[in-house]
Structure 1
Amino acid sequence: MKAISIKGPDYKIIVKKIEEVLKDGYAPSLAIVFLSIKHNDQELAVYLNSKGIQVFGSTTSGEFIDGEIEEHSIVLMLLDINPEHFKLVFLETGTQSSFDNSKKLGELGKATFSDAAFIIASGWLSQDGEAIVEGITEGYGEEVTIFGGMAGDDLILKGPKVFSFNKNSEKGIVALIIDESKIEVNGIATCGWKPIGTTKTITKSEGNIVYTIDDKPALDMIMKYLGIEMDVESGKEIVTQLSSYYPLQMERPGVSPVMRTAMFANKEDRSLICAGNVTQGSKVRFSLPPDFDAIEAVVEECEQLKTSEKIDADAIIMFSCISRRLSFGVMMPEELEQVQQVWNVPMVGFFSYGEYGKSKTGKHEFHNNTCCIVTLKEK
């Protein structure tokens, strides 16, 4: 498999670069496309389709390619995979729930390939991350492989989209179902965040809304415990402070904790609205703001994945939480560069509102504040 990564500030430059690549006889069958919400996704999808290239696409909150971060741009990876070795599917949540749609996706994968892996991107379905994983698992089976990310929209927080040719939707799921007997799909969901303080209990929650922690209003608890002040009148204030620096770590016996990001706060009842469900009764700890140790932990897990399981790669796709970018700041390129250098192959990715993947000691599930690294290798 040959992977070629391309970036550009607009449609015209991207098309020009693709035309240059195609002149040399390269014949890609698939494009992984990540772009800012300001671009016309269908303009590019129509062009790629005219070249016989299928499109797996998502809007972003920042893009990166081969270790370099872009702003309001278009990045894509072209892959010359045999079309018989993958199936591209687009589903939209309408009358059916995300769980039902995802179950259908899992069943389709099982019917298409005896050994299938799923790479997915989902639209503005922030409360449905777990339901999507559970649905695919229900349809395919417990042994399923799922990696991916939730679309972004430059932190506007109004309607990120996923897309393919002639299809785009805020409520959609785009899935790349891969035949693992022909193409190895491996990956890891890792974060490197360190916990701080004692374990606490979510004493009241519903779905992705946390009302109380240790019987105290959730927002007040975090502000007091961490010694921070914020203007709850401003939605962005919550995103840039709470979600970036102080995510919750949901502890589970015997497996890695799963991260949960507080995206908004309700000033009336002092609750927190998270980017994923938080079960009542869950045990949680707060997190320390990240430093270079967090990057080293992520890179170390990637190196362990490569060496311990002898995993090679032709291409890397990476989904990294926007909260990591906000909190890591100038350190962010360091993480991207070092992850790519582990395999030293073309890499494409974006900053997401949630991530799908398997941690080192966990199962395939929905994450926040995490980076999900996926490797592809043709057998």
Structure 2
Amino acid sequence: MRIVQDIKIKGEQFLNVEPFKKLKNPLLLVFGNRYMLEEDDIYKEIKKIVPSGHIVFGSTSGEILEDAVYNDSVVVTAIEFERSSFIIKCSNVYDYNNNDALLGEKLMEEFPTKDLKHVFVVSEGSIVNGSALINGFERKKGASAGLSGGLCGDDARFERTLASYNENPKEGEIIAIGFYGEALEITSANYGGWTPFGPERIITKSNNNVLYELDGKPALDLYKNYLGEKAKDLPESALLYPLSVKTKVDEEPIVRTILNINHHDNSMVLAGDVPEGSKVQLMMSSVDDIANGANKAAKLAMENRKTKPELSLLVSCIGRKLVMDQRTEEEIEEVKSVVGKDSFICGFYSYGEMAPFSENKTCRLHNQTMTLTLFSE
């Protein structure tokens, strides 16, 4: 596995393009600020650097490269596999009338199952129901292959997200990358570091990822009461106080953040499903808790690995970044301390993270977690 990385800061050029020219048919992961990915010539610019590259774009709420976090940049990681291969498929939510589960099923059906090790998803993050999308993938994926990924971001603006494969980034795109080969070792894990507080309430009215009522009362009204003065900054301020959602007594709770609000019916749109009957609590965290959570996520991803990771692909949540503020890079440093200094690190801050819990291989949608997908060949 050969890996080359570069970065373009807003108003500048890429720093070192020569090493890219030596790669043959690499996978290019291009994560960047949404405004920079809207530039008309962004695809042509990357394609010129690596004409044979397979280019996957995703907009972010912050770009991760090595042990640094950037806000107004485009970062590129090119991977040339020596004994393995990959296949890339894409589709658009608007072609499925927002039936995200069906989209996941159809996209997964396009991948040959023989020797499939893992599928990594770069998904639009503004309108997709990430839970339904993952459920569709899981129905067709098979137990032997892993699944992870993330929902694209748009800083804390929540206006629109962009993604694409081998074309200019656009809205609504879902890109799936299938990795093949016996030589590959791919592991993934996630961990949060958030603590529930306040009374536990019951979801009494919801529809997929739209939350209407808690304990028979308008959900948004209750949430505003908790936020107080911070309610005027919704939905951004909600990132600091996500919801712990527990659907079954013996299941791990899922963390859900609010993507949007509807003042007309006092509802909240969340990144994934919030089933009726689930128990809900508010959550909060600190800088140290989030950094420790990143360390825990890295250790879970490293458990039982036979080889050291050559590439560490990170997807962390915008809410974690807002809490960490000037200390955001500390969680990346925690990851690096575990995966090793020789592992290339790339990734992005997202509106949702896809990974299994440590005790099983079934992928779930998470919020407010650090998610790692580790590669070696």
Q: TM-score, normalised by structure 2?
A: 0.89
Alpha carbons of structure 1 residues 316 and 293: separation in structure 2 relative to 1, 3 Å: same
Q: What residue is the counterpart of 1:53 in the other structure?
A: 53
What CA distance in whole angstroms lies between the structure 2 residues aligned with 1:214 and 1:375? 41
What CA distance in whole angstroms lies between the structure 1 residues aligned with 2:57 and 2:323? 26
Alpha carbons of structure 1 residues 260 and 99: separation in structure 2 relative to 1, 3 Å: same
Spell out, residue by residue over 1:117-174, the C-alpha distance to the aligned partner (whole angstroms, 9 max, x if none): 1111111453421121111112222444111111122333222111121353311111
Counterpart residue identity of residue 371, structure 1: M
What CA distance in whole angstroms lies between the structure 1 residues aligned with 2:102 and 2:153? 23
- The runs of 5 or more residues in structure 2 that have no matched partner are none
Q: 47-56 or 172-181: which moved more?
A: 47-56
1:217 CA displacement: 2.0
What does 1:43-192 correspond to in 2, within 5 Å? 43-50=41-48, 51-82=51-82, 85-96=85-96, 97-109=99-111, 111=112, 113-124=114-125, 126-166=127-167, 168-192=169-193
1:204 CA displacement: 1.1
What CA distance in whole angstroms lies between the structure 1 residues aligned with 2:262 and 2:36? 32
- Contact 1:256–1:361 (8 Å) recurs in 2: no
Q: TM-score, normalised by structure 1?
A: 0.88
1:79 CA displacement: 0.9
What CA distance in whole angstroms lies between the structure 2 residues aligned with 1:376 and 1:192? 24
What CA distance in whole angstroms lies between the structure 2 residues aligned with 1:201 and 1:180? 46
Spell out, residue by residue over 1:193-219, the C-alpha distance to the aligned partner (whole angstroms, 9 max, x if none): 111234321111122221221222212
What does 1:1-379 correspond to in 2, within 5 Å? 1-10=1-10, 13-14=13-14, 17-19=16-18, 21-22=19-20, 25-27=22-24, 29-40=26-37, 43-50=41-48, 51-82=51-82, 85-96=85-96, 97-109=99-111, 111=112, 113-124=114-125, 126-166=127-167, 168-224=169-225, 226=226, 228-232=228-232, 237-243=233-239, 245-251=240-246, 252-310=248-306, 312-343=308-339, 344=341, 345-361=343-359, 363-378=362-377
1:256 CA displacement: 2.4
Counterpart residue identity of residue 368, structure 1: N
SS at match of 2:17: helix
Equivalent pairs, count: 368
Alpha carbons of structure 1 residues 116 and 369: separation in structure 2 relative to 1, 3 Å: same
- Contact 2:84–2:184 (8 Å) recurs in 1: no
1:67 CA displacement: 1.7
What CA distance in whole angstroms lies between the structure 1 residues aligned with 2:162 and 2:120? 16
- Contact 2:57–2:164 (8 Å) recurs in 1: yes
Q: 208-217 or 312-321: which moved more?
A: 208-217
Counterpart residue identity of residue 106, structure 1: M
SS at match of 2:297: helix
What CA distance in whole angstroms lies between the structure 1 residues aligned with 2:47 and 2:8? 19
- The runs of 5 or more residues in structure 1 that have no matched partner are none
Counterpart residue identity of residue 367, structure 1: H
1:253 CA displacement: 3.2
What CA distance in whole angstroms lies between the structure 1 residues aligned with 2:192 and 2:358? 11
- Contact 1:91–1:101 (8 Å) recurs in 2: yes
What CA distance in whole angstroms lies between the structure 1 residues aligned with 2:185 and 2:142? 19
Alpha carbons of structure 1 residues 294 and 62: separation in structure 2 relative to 1, 3 Å: closer
What CA distance in whole angstroms lies between the structure 2 residues aligned with 1:117 and 1:140? 9
1:180 CA displacement: 4.8
- Contact 1:56–1:175 (8 Å) recurs in 2: no
SS at match of 2:328: helix
